[in-house]
Structure 1
């Protein structure tokens, strides 16, 4: 169980750090998605900061499990919001957001299974 927790959580950290980097640098693919969803590009740095904070929280969760649990919860909520933004404009290209939601959700479940809720 511990190996699965570390593996999935590490993958979630890397994926969210990469997403945050793309948001911070204004990567065109991220900008195109924002345009499609009607999200102002000026929000991308703030959204990237949330993803980055989630990645850092998951990383800190290896030492302080409560931080990891809180970060995983926050990322689950973040990606539920992202899916909602896609559905709001009837954009059914949900693969990226669903993948990130699954990673965050599995990290949360495995973390709670490994350490308990708090």
Structure 2
């Protein structure tokens, strides 16, 4: 299970452990903790002894199947019934669609702000 990085794994000089030292299972568990705990990425990163930017990158980074972590299917044994799994799937798709829309709007805003300065 997840926990703070042991002193043996820490980088000399007190810096936080480099993410390459951590295995894929550790990263998946950390992402799952972010998704299920309701706490902020910063709080969880501090608790685990990794940088918040690393953890944020793990959350955003597609996993091995090419799906973003937020789009990862919920396992049947996760304690959710079929209706809850379908609702979660629908909400994750909606969140992904909204994230894409936000990115497009950010780019459009930057474009038009740049154009209006001319």
Provide TM-score, normalisation by structure 1: 0.32
If asked which structure has higher relative contact order (CA below 8 Å, sep 6+), I would say: 1
Task: Using structure 2 for the length normalisation, give the TM-score.
Answer: 0.32
Q: Could you say which structure has the higher helix fraction?
A: 1
